[in-house]
């Protein structure tokens, strides 16, 4: 337990939550699978976004796939997606939301499946490094979402207890990871996943995008935590 005044932590997924990248991932994964001889629907890929590369491939191709292709597929996706690294765009209100929370005493930590240069490009797009206190990336944990590892690592970086934190994301994998880590999962619709699916996976509140959450911040679960 933390001592003295509780540390409040706002833990954030990045793709589809702070950066407008989910459909770009869908397109580049689709092409990576096509190059390897697999026909995978864009709908199925979209529903898998938020998983780490290895888990995404297994989720879409199954355990009986030719696993020797995994590295080829993952590498193709990384190359295709990397071509857009200098053109990634933040979602409306992303940086402003992070700055507003920091101004209210929250510690902002990223918890994402992205790592390395991909994460660097995302942080450049968000352009709010001065109010991001740390990152739990795919490089830092043994298992990605929906395992709780990234969220638990983010809590450690924040120095916060699970009961004093929210995890803001856009996929069912984010919501499940938040539930398993014992934090309050808050969902954004900006990643394209239906509200009912996010609520079914454990979301305690749902907003359109970062700008919507920012506009409604005073009536949100975050303010409830501030006043608790």
Q: How far apart are alpha carbons 100 and 174 in whole angstroms?
A: 22
What's the start-to-end Cα distance of the chain, in Å? 16
* Cα torsion 20, 118, 41, 187: sign: negative
pLDDT band, very low/low/confident/very high, at 1 (cuts 50, 70, 90): very low
DSSP-derived pairing of the beta strands 165-169 and 184-188: parallel
pLDDT band, very low/low/confident/very high, at 4 (cuts 50, 70, 90): low
Q: Report the interhelical angle of 22-35 vs 53-61 (nearest 10°).
A: 60
pLDDT for res 114: 86
Q: Coil, helix or strand for 188? A: strand
pLDDT for res 215: 98
Which residues, 6+ apart, have CB-to-CB distance to 187 below 8 Å?
A: 168, 169, 170, 174, 175, 193, 195, 198, 199, 203, 205, 206, 207
Q: Report the interhelical angle of 70-82 vs 22-35 (nearest 10°).
A: 130
pLDDT band, very low/low/confident/very high, at 11 (cuts 50, 70, 90): very high
For residues 108 and 78, membership in a common domain is answered with: no
φ, ψ dihedrals at 136, nearest 5°: -100, 100
Average pLDDT over residues 61-81: 96
pLDDT for res 210: 98
pLDDT at 58 over 50: yes
pLDDT for res 113: 85
Q: Is residue 68 part of a domain?
A: yes
Q: How far apart are alpha carbons 213 and 219 in whole angstroms?
A: 9
Q: What is the pTM of this model?
A: 0.95
Q: Identify the residue whose tokens are 């539930």.
A: 179
For residues 108 and 214, membership in a common domain is answered with: yes
Nearest to 17 by CA among 181, 176, 213, 228: 213
Radius of gyration of the chain measured on its C-alpha atoms: 17
Its domain, for residue 37, covers: 22-86
For residues 76 and 107, membership in a common domain is answered with: no
For residues 100 and 212, membership in a common domain is answered with: yes
Task: Please indicate whether residue 137 or residue 110 has the higher confidence score (pLDDT).
Answer: 110
If 0-12 CB within 10 Å is exposed, 13-18 middle and 19+ buried, where does residue 141 land?
buried
For residues 130 and 212, membership in a common domain is answered with: yes
pLDDT at 94 over 90: yes
Q: How far apart are alpha carbons 77 and 65 in whole angstroms?
A: 18
Average pLDDT over residues 72-81: 97
pLDDT band, very low/low/confident/very high, at 19 (cuts 50, 70, 90): very high
pLDDT at 85 over 90: yes
CATH number, domain at 180? 3.40.50.1000
Q: Provide, rounded to the nearest whole percent, the portion of the chain with pLDDT above 90.
A: 90
Q: Is residue 4 part of a domain?
A: no
For residues 196 and 94, membership in a common domain is answered with: yes
Q: What is the pLDDT of residues 164-195, one digit of tens each?
A: 999 999 999 999 999 999 999 999 999 999 99
Per the structure, the count of domains in the chain is 2
Average pLDDT over residues 40-48: 98
Q: What is the pLDDT of residues 118-152, one digit of tens each?
A: 999 999 999 999 999 999 987 788 888 999 999 99
């Amino acid at each position: 337990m933390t001592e003295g005044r509780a540390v409040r932590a706002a833990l954030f997924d990045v793709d589809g939550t702070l950066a407008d990248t989910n459909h770009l991932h869908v397109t580049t994964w689709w092409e990576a699978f096509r190059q390897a001889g697999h026909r995978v629907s864009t709908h199925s890929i979209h529903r898998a976004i938020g998983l780490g590369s290895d888990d995404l491939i297994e989720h879409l191709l199954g355990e009986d796939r030719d696993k020797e292709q995994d590295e080829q597929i993952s590498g193709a996706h990384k190359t295709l997606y990397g071509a857009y690294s200098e053109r990634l765009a933040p979602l409306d209100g992303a940086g402003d939301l992070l700055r507003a929370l920091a101004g209210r005493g929250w510690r902002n930590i990223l918890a994402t499946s992205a790592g390395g240069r991909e994460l660097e490009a995302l942080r450049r797009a968000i352009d709010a490094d001065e109010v991001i206190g740390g990152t739990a990336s795919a490089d830092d944990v043994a298992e990605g979402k929906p395992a709780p590892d990234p969220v638990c690592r983010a809590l450690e970086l924040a120095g916060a207890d699970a009961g004093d934190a929210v995890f803001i994301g856009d996929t069912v994998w984010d919501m499940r990871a938040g539930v398993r880590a014992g934090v309050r999962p808050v969902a954004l619709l900006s990643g394209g996943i239906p509200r009912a699916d996010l609520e079914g996976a454990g979301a305690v509140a749902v907003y359109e995008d970062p700008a919507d959450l920012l506009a409604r911040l005073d009536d949100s679960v975050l303010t409830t935590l501030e006043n608790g």
